[in-house]
Structure 1
């Protein structure tokens, strides 16, 4: 389905196409290209590495960064002798296929391995001896899925933007976010943030090693989408991340008032205890040892590793050590007053989640299922939400549910987060992405759905070229230049780019980003009913 083509598919055909789409994306994420030509050998903390050249840039895949025992903090990877070939992506950190759908046979998926903490580097040619801005990308996936292979590669961003992009693996699911009192006791109080600690280790690795590739450790931008954006917010709030980066980009990151907001230790401990019980490890003194002895596949059988609802089990945790406050609270208190921030959301984020939570489960939304979904996430405010978003006011029940997820989980949390950062002294540029890469309407992924912005920043995804042409290619070029300009200067404004006032200007404007339009707008909060959502919180967001 391409932009401009509106299709209405019978339900069986729709579900078959969804299955093929998911299978295709999963297969694409396994594809890598071997070395095309040699590139400079670079010496890092563990030893020397050689990469390869493709798409006009130098690439180094799977550079050993860290190792970690299960549920423990990462530690430096052991060194090696000779020159290590860095031409293959790492295995992915353990994760389950998150959808309740029977997929067509897939020849190969990224292998699960607890030895997964490597980093991929994408470097302009002849960068040695230079001092280039560094952009560290943190992948999304609701903190239950994601890997570096999916984002191969940001070649145009690197080549034309004259930046280095680093993409580290980090642990997800229970492997990355299990919190228990026993873990806190053995790690000085840190618990439930192993995946965030992996990211912090990556930022320290970049600080200590990136100069060897031609990067400037004093000019590091962190950026990420979805849970990657939430990760960026977590680093903005974490005292352990201070000084490891200097600019931040949050794309569709639900950083406040959503189920991904870091809970208190007590809530996280309750989640961890329930998981241990589900795994047959009980609540006794041997609970942690029991969990560490369960095979990887056994842990992944837990329903908590699936992604069937906005409610989340595995998120960062306000543990008092790695994270001492929620991102909203820390930003409002000035935790990152000296860090320029670019953040935004897409205008129809919720369409992706209707596909994931309804169509992928074999269900076409109805008025009754919409009500049930809303009550699951917002039990105390469901009646008010359903009255504000009546199914009868939308073309289909799916459209009504998409609007609820868009406004509550992304658009309004972005507005709140931007307000908090600005109140804490940070300079913030906000955007609303409205381009529809597929069809502007229809039953599957209409409008600017969740993650619709990602293909405009990467030239390949899963090794597959992104085939933009015409105005879409022009938009992709403009976004890459804007993101790179921000990495260079801390301001997205530059020659040939749209004028973008920061959100401290009159009316708190946001830049609307579309292939047909790039201008400031001041109606984001009104369009997405953020006044209504100011008084609503998910039931699971308990402090």
Structure 2
């Protein structure tokens, strides 16, 4: 924090002067779509509750990085609801990203963050240099609730902001520090005993509501967007009546469902926390005095170990949001979706290949276990997997038969490895977002559904979970991604289409692609599904790919 006197004049945002060190004005037009409709210039210094922030200009965008939106969740504030900050009037340099939460890494898509700490509750803003009342996009990263950082080149908001929106990316607590739960953690202000990560995200949204005008954003026009775990958290926030007013619409990328027994019940999560505390020689309350890194490492070790026989949930996810009746009201896919909330849902064509068949072209090695090579091996794999979901293993032959029949009907290969990829990806990911789109469409709401179909570069194959992310941010050509995704004109056009679909949706809920092709609202008969990248960089509309195979999950998951 910089509290030293400065000769640069601090200009109130209400004066709309964009003051540089020399006092000269820089007025640049907006690019692409956007709100506001004027050429109002914005101050380089933004006055917020987090301080008077000094940003950095890059072309037509000002960025502000590492902005604290809540107090450091350490010591007495560990395993507590986030507490607001108030640095009003304090000069703060906002040109460097804040620390990421202590975490494990998902290296195929996420660059390992070098700066990790418990003091991680910060956000970043990219804003056009001109314009007022602009649409706002708040991004919640994914990472299996264990990894992710907004400092990664993947999530740079520069190119989206160039298209006329204010972009906010959020760091929040991950892993054990964001998800352990116990009655002894009860927050004195909120009563919360769980779900610290989603409460962090809500605190960031509340900060946006209070401060985004200083960056030219409209606090009443906020699109909440997230991928994977971040998409699931976005839905949880929108479904909660006390938080619903913070969100104008949702743009969801590959939301999963990790409800019990896949994830923990609240009671079993408390047992898990007690075991961790015992391993560290303390009690749940005593964890406030233990190193955060020690807690992280102890939980990682326990995540791979057997639990007491009394624990019957958490069979696949031991770190995830928990239904607590306050912050996470109920299993999101079985909870009514707000009828007046426009939503976009997107999935990758072979979501499961991220987990089952992933080759890293940069590291030049596989990052997933070998695929089942025989039908006998597939049967054993599926039976064990269904058991982890609380589904009887004897259902495995029926699941495999349904997927084989769907593959043959579509003209796809029915080899065991491909069937396993489809079964896994649908069961944890694609099945749920399609159900959400169907639910919204059946209720007469506004939903758009897309399948991303452009394959990653060989020798890797498929369109795995996370494959669209570098295109959504226009960062596909960054060093960490170019050998995985490509940098040809096809990829450049795909990226433009992805970005435009988000920024136009954020402007007024009517999404379109970069060639001005409108994205029609999804219909309950599965028509009007967008197919992005099905041929080169093209976008077409029609029936949902691989819809028939999803029906097998209806009785198994209780729908």
TM-score by length of 1: 0.79
Aligned to 1:60: 64
Aligned to 1:438: 457
Aligned to 1:329: 334
Q: Could you tell me whether the CA contact under 8 Å between 2:355 and 2:368 is conserved in 1?
A: no
Residue 83 (structure 2) aligned to one of 71, 75, 89: 75
Aligned to 1:28: none
Distance 2:263 2:385 in 1: 21
Residue 298 (structure 1) aligned to one of 279, 294, 299: 294
Q: Could you tell me whether the CA contact under 8 Å between 1:222 and 1:247 is conserved in 2?
A: yes
Distance 2:94 2:544 in 1: 47
Q: Could you tell me whether the CA contact under 8 Å between 1:304 and 1:313 is conserved in 2?
A: no
* Corresponding position: 1:384 with 2:388: no
Which deviations, in whole Å up to 9, do the C-alpha atoms of 1:454-477 show, x marking residues without a partner?
A: 111113379758653312211111
Higher RCO structure, 1 or 2 (CA under 8 Å, sep 6+):
1
Which deviations, in whole Å up to 9, do the C-alpha atoms of 1:417-468 show, x marking residues without a partner?
A: 11223345531111111111323xx5x3x22211111111113379758653
- The 3 A distance-change label for structure 1 pair 362 and 492 is closer
Distance 1:43 1:307 in 2: 47
Distance 2:287 2:242 in 1: 27
How far residue 41 of structure 1 moved from its aligned partner, in angstroms, is 0.9
Aligned to 1:126: 130
The equivalences for 1:439-478 within 5 A come to: 439=458, 444=460, 446-460=461-475, 464=479, 468-478=487-497
- The 3 A distance-change label for structure 1 pair 507 and 225 is closer
Aligned to 1:192: 194
Q: Could you tell me whether the CA contact under 8 Å between 2:181 and 2:266 is conserved in 1?
A: yes
Q: Could you tell me whether the CA contact under 8 Å between 2:450 and 2:532 is conserved in 1?
A: yes
What SS does the aligned partner of 2:169 have?
strand
Q: Could you tell me whether the CA contact under 8 Å between 2:263 and 2:318 is conserved in 1?
A: no
How far residue 61 of structure 1 moved from its aligned partner, in angstroms, is 0.6
Q: Could you tell me whether the CA contact under 8 Å between 2:500 and 2:512 is conserved in 1?
A: no
Q: List runs of 5+ in structure 2 lacking aligned partners.
A: 1-19, 22-42, 306-313, 360-364
- The 3 A distance-change label for structure 1 pair 507 and 270 is closer
Distance 2:326 2:302 in 1: 25
Which deviations, in whole Å up to 9, do the C-alpha atoms of 1:4-33 show, x marking residues without a partner?
A: xxxxxxxxxxxxxxxxxxxxxxxxxxxxxx
How far residue 228 of structure 1 moved from its aligned partner, in angstroms, is 1.3
Distance 1:453 1:310 in 2: 29
Residue 313 (structure 1) aligned to one of 294, 310, 318: 318
- The 3 A distance-change label for structure 1 pair 417 and 502 is same
Which deviations, in whole Å up to 9, do the C-alpha atoms of 1:194-227 show, x marking residues without a partner?
A: 1111010011100000000100001100111111
Aligned to 1:45: 49
Distance 1:50 1:222 in 2: 25
Residue 342 (structure 2) aligned to one of 325, 340, 346: 340
Root-mean-square deviation (Å): 3.4
Residue 367 (structure 2) aligned to one of 332, 354, 360: 360
- The 3 A distance-change label for structure 1 pair 463 and 80 is farther
Residue 277 (structure 1) aligned to one of 270, 275, 278: 275
Aligned residues: 480
Residue 155 (structure 1) aligned to one of 153, 158, 161: 158
How far residue 318 of structure 1 moved from its aligned partner, in angstroms, is 1.9
- The 3 A distance-change label for structure 1 pair 413 and 123 is same
Which deviations, in whole Å up to 9, do the C-alpha atoms of 1:42-82 show, x marking residues without a partner?
A: 11013201121235421111011102321100011242764
* Corresponding position: 1:486 with 2:505: yes
Q: Could you tell me whether the CA contact under 8 Å between 1:264 and 1:319 is conserved in 2?
A: no
Which deviations, in whole Å up to 9, do the C-alpha atoms of 1:160-211 show, x marking residues without a partner?
A: x200100011111121122222234756543321111101001110000000
- The 3 A distance-change label for structure 1 pair 41 and 461 is farther
What SS does the aligned partner of 1:496 have?
coil
Which stretch has the larger CA shift, 212-221 or 462-471?
Answer: 462-471
Residue 532 (structure 1) aligned to one of 552, 555, 558: 552
How far residue 487 of structure 1 moved from its aligned partner, in angstroms, is 0.4
